[in-house]
Amino acid sequence: MNTSLSPDQLLGHAQDGNPEHLGQLLENYRHYLHLLARLEIGRNLQAKLDASDLVQDTLLEAHRNFSHFQGSSETQFVCWLRQIMAASLANLLRRYLGTQGRDIRLERQLAIQLDQSSRLLDRGLIDPGSSPSQQASRREQAVLLADALARLPEDYREVIILRHLQGLSFAEVSSRMERSLDSVEKLWMRGLARLRQVMGGME
């Protein structure tokens, strides 16, 4: 299969009924969904859920209901995936909290939180000096960042997620990672440098 297709091209082929392209399309967003799941689970359930389980539920549901997707762009598709994840997470939360019945308000709140997390990733990547047209021509920045983070060594990825995405202080990161403050600060600097290299190679 042609792996050089753009997300929009993959989406079009998947909508034409090609199951291989649909599988590849969904797989392209696994890292992105996993990062969002981790941030959201940390906010709601701490260690009670595995982010990978939530991602798998989301991808299965997206595959099952793909015929209902009416959009034509990566941006619309990513938004649709976030809505599915919000519903999946609401179901899991309901199960853990022992409540019955679907809670639309909870799903909406989770969808808003996932959207905010995704926009945080976008802001973390777009160069303030780049023009709006340059920004518009790029792929979904949050998706690219998630893919780049997945390529980093685990310690680099962890320190960037804790410090940059979860907003912890260096002291809190130091405690969480069981490292000295000095080593965490150095690790963070090296991690950011490596992240820039990886992002540069993805353009």
pLDDT value at position 134? 45
Phi, psi of 89, rounded to the nearest 5 degrees: -65, -40
**Contact, 155 vs 194, CB < 8 A?**
no
pLDDT one-digit tens code per residue, 24-54: 999 999 999 999 998 887 665 555 678 888 9
pLDDT value at position 98? 65
Residues with pLDDT less than 50, the chain: 1, 125-137
Q: Which amino acid is at 98?
A: G
Locate CATH 1.10.10.10 in the chain. 151-203
For the domain covering 151-203, report its CATH number. 1.10.10.10
What's the CA gap between 105 and 103, in Å, rounded?
Answer: 5
What's the CA gap between 157 and 161, in Å, rounded?
Answer: 6
Tell me the three state secondary structure of residue 71. Answer: coil
What's the CA gap between 57 and 143, in Å, rounded?
Answer: 19
**Contact, 86 vs 20, CB < 8 A?**
no
pTM assigned to the model: 0.83
Q: Which helix (H) or strand (E) holds 108?
A: helix 104-125
Q: Which two tokens stand for residue 88?
A: 């999946």
pLDDT value at position 91? 82
